[in-house]
A and B are shown apart, each in its own frame.
Chain A
Amino acid sequence: MSDSPIAVEQHGPELLHHFVDAEQQRDAATLGMWLFLATEIMFFGGMFCAYLIYRFWYYSEFAAGSRSLDITLGTVNTAVLICSSLTVALGVRAAQMGKRKLLVVLLLLTILFGLVFLGIKGVEWYNKYEEHHIPGPTFNVDDLVKAYPNIHIDPQHEQIFFSLYFAMTGLHALHMIIGVGIFAFLTFYAWKGRYTPKYYTPVEMGGLYWHFVDIVWIYLFPLLYLIDRHR
């Protein structure tokens, strides 16, 4: 500590004046990001709660609906998202080490994985459209009634399963689209060389968001595709 009443520290333009040092600034950003993610947990929590209650009420319809989903595409999509989380983690590491080109490549790979996920999701949704499993006036589950004679299927209750399926995967896909936008922004500034080992907070915060969206899918996958295949 110096004896002068106002200690003026030399620092780069990335450190805002109301923070003591870069570490405090980064900790504050991390805390703020996690507070935002806490609200996201509550946001998706409402959907998971609705799923839980309706699954409890309409157990057999949920089992039939779950079986009608494509488990192969679901598993592949889970793997795609896990790969994107790896490229994000490696990207943050590249930023920490100041490897600009590697960071840009890893951010672009993340965007690519995100788009592949959305593409596969689109294929699944299109299949549901062709099967008339989208809730609404054209909704029809005669094929499921025929395919699973041992399961009691009330079309109204089946519609609730598919409403939840589209609401949950749809909101998740919306988060993915926003994530792709954030990563396009990050890629642009990474390419311009804005992020250095001293200042890479935006990459880290974007990464936290991406990993969170990945975790939501890690739970959606078993709940929608896996757990009711034997009832």
Chain B
Amino acid sequence: MSEHIMSSKFYYTIWITLLCLTGITAAVSFVDLGPFNAVVALVIATVKALLVVLFFMHVKYTSEKLTKIVIASAIFWLFLLLALSMADYATRHWS
């Protein structure tokens, strides 16, 4: 089931998309969007990471659900680390 050979054309499409997104994110950084510069850059980075994980790393075609659970929990732990740390540091000057 995990044996899933994709056409090389498909990989080239993903590759071109990733290169275009890199160009876009570099170009956008020269435009002043205020706080949205960071948002746009991180959204584009996440789209690129998703393309790599789903298609280059074959996660979209993995039959094994356990693998997907491991990936989802790893991302969740990272979210906990970042969110709870910032919940502390970002609110210290309150009160």
Contact = CB atoms under 8 A, between A and B. Distances in A.
Interface of A: 23, 26-27, 30-31, 34-35, 37-38, 41-42, 45-46, 48-49, 52-53, 56-57, 71, 74-75, 78-79, 82-83, 85-86, 88-90, 93, 96-97, 204, 207-208, 211-212, 214-215, 218-219, 221-223, 225-230
Given A38-B71, A230-B32, A218 B15 contact: no
A214 B56 CA distance: 11
A96 B15 contact: no
Contacts of A30: 2, 62, 64, 67
Nearest to A37: B74
Interface in B68-83: 70-71, 73-75, 77-78, 81-82
B37 A93 contact: no
Given A48-B78, A228-B37, 20 more contacts: A27-B2, A27-B63, A27-B64, A34-B67, A45-B82, A56-B89, A71-B26, A75-B22, A89-B56, A90-B8, A93-B11, A96-B3, A211-B53, A214-B52, A221-B25, A221-B45, A222-B42, A223-B41, A227-B29, A227-B38
Given A86-B15, A93-B11, A229-B29, A23 B57 contact: no
A42 B74 contact: yes
Contacts of A227: 29, 37-38, 41-42
Interface of chain A, helix or strand or loop or mixed?
A: helix
B4 to A, nearest CB: 9
B22 A49 contact: no
A53 B86 contact: yes
A168 B37 CA distance: 21
Nearest to A74: B26
B11 to A, nearest CB: 5
User: Of A86, A212, A222, A225, which is in contact with the most chain B CB atoms at under 10 Å from its CB?
Assistant: A222
Interface residues of B, number: 53
A56 B71 contact: no
Given A27-B63, A42-B77, A56-B86, A229 B56 contact: no
Nearest to B7: A93
B41 A222 contact: yes
A150 B23 CA distance: 29
Nearest to A44: B78
A218 B45 CA distance: 6
Given A45-B81, A215-B52, A83 B15 contact: yes
Contacts of A82: 15, 18-19, 22
B1 A23 contact: yes
A75 B26 contact: yes
